[in-house]
Amino acid sequence: MARRKLAIALLSIEGTNCDDELRAALANLGARPEIVHLKQFEGRDVAREDRRRLADYQLLFVPGGFSAGDYVRAGAIFGARVRASIGPDLEEFVRGGSIVGGICNGFQVLTEIGLLPGRPGGRLGPPEAALMTNDSGHYECRPTFVAWEGGRFPALQDTPRGTRFLFPSGHAEGKLVLGGDAAARRSELLRDGQILFRWVAPDGGPATYPWNPNGSEGNIAGLTNPEGNVFGLMPHPERYFFRAQAPDWTREGACEGFGDGHRFLDAILTYAEQHA
């Protein structure tokens, strides 16, 4: 299905390294994804013809990687640069209902600038949560499963609650820690439909390590903002976009077709296209 009118910006800086995988997946779905360095939005140190405006895009993704080397903490430097350079433009983009997604490092960035769990109206602000070092103390990279929690995220409203997705993980700082009374805050997020995904075991049951690769309390693997148009998740849907990326494709003898990442990203583009 051609989706030529869906222009998507994949925001990058030094150290972003999953942008091209995500670009290939979104292009396969018929959209017009473009990897845009933050300096292109700033209009700094780039030729005039390479400058970009956030308002010219329908969706914004912040992809995975190790932006700025994950110095200070994962996503902190990238987040500070976003806030200082395009903060007001990003707030307007969110208030207008456009979809903003963060994957892995992108989830960390959106948390650092206060868009997740978020405040009503898409306002940036101090972090209300953090993605901390995994309980294992090291980088975790493996196939993992998440289940759709049935919350506010509009792209999955026709998907039955509890639907399981295989999304590979690759992170060292993915343990979601909520500020204040963490248990009360988790209850609020659940009540308000802001929990996007939970880690689950292969059979769909509650996850323990390694199926929860970081120790996030409540098995939370992804969140949305109160309005549902900003989302973040720690695992990588673009790493299981094609069936050939599955860990079992050689055993199953099938490498044609698509994986769960295709299903997830296709749902996002379908919703965005219907509401463009």
132-155, pLDDT tens digit by residue? 999 999 999 999 999 999 999 999
Half-sphere exposure of 211 (CA within 13 A, CB side): 19
Give the C-alpha separation, 87 to 251, whole Å. 48
Model confidence at 233: pLDDT above 60? yes
pLDDT at 72 (0 to 100)? 87
pLDDT at 272 (0 to 100)? 95
**Catalytic residue check, 14:** no
Which one is catalytic: 37, 149, 171, 236? Answer: 236
Q: Where are the domains of the chain?
A: 7-274
User: Is 7-274 in CATH node 3.40.50.450?
Assistant: no
pLDDT band at 256 (very low <50, low <70, confident <90, very high): confident
- Segment 7-32 mean pLDDT: 97
Model confidence at 210: pLDDT above 60? yes
- Segment 120-141 mean pLDDT: 94
Model confidence at 249: pLDDT above 80? no
Which one is catalytic: 112, 140, 173, 238? Answer: 238
- Segment 13-29 mean pLDDT: 96
Among 135, 106, 138, CA closest to 38: 106
- Segment 257-269 mean pLDDT: 95
**Catalytic residue check, 236:** yes
Sign of CA dihedral 234, 215, 158, 237: positive
Give the C-alpha separation, 162 to 260, whole Å. 14
Give the C-alpha separation, 44 to 59, whole Å. 22
- Segment 163-176 mean pLDDT: 97
Could you tell me the two tokens for 5? 């009118």
Give the C-alpha separation, 9 to 35, whole Å. 6
pLDDT at 247 (0 to 100)? 83
Write the pLDDT tens digit of every residue in 27-66: 999 999 999 999 999 998 899 999 999 999 999 999 999 9
- Segment 12-16 mean pLDDT: 96
pLDDT at 3 (0 to 100)? 62
- Segment 24-29 mean pLDDT: 96
pLDDT above 90: percentage of residues in the chain: 86
Burial class (CB in 10 A: 0-12, 13-18, 19+), 270: middle
Mean pLDDT value across the chain: 94
Among 149, 13, 155, 139, CA closest to 75: 13
Rg, the chain, Cα only? 17
pLDDT at 2 (0 to 100)? 61
Model confidence at 254: pLDDT above 80? no
Which one is catalytic: 21, 37, 104, 140? Answer: 104
pLDDT at 121 (0 to 100)? 85
**Catalytic residue check, 104:** yes
- Segment 73-87 mean pLDDT: 95
pLDDT band at 186 (very low <50, low <70, confident <90, very high): very high
Could you tell me the two tokens for 132? 């901390």
SS3 213: coil
- Segment 110-120 mean pLDDT: 95
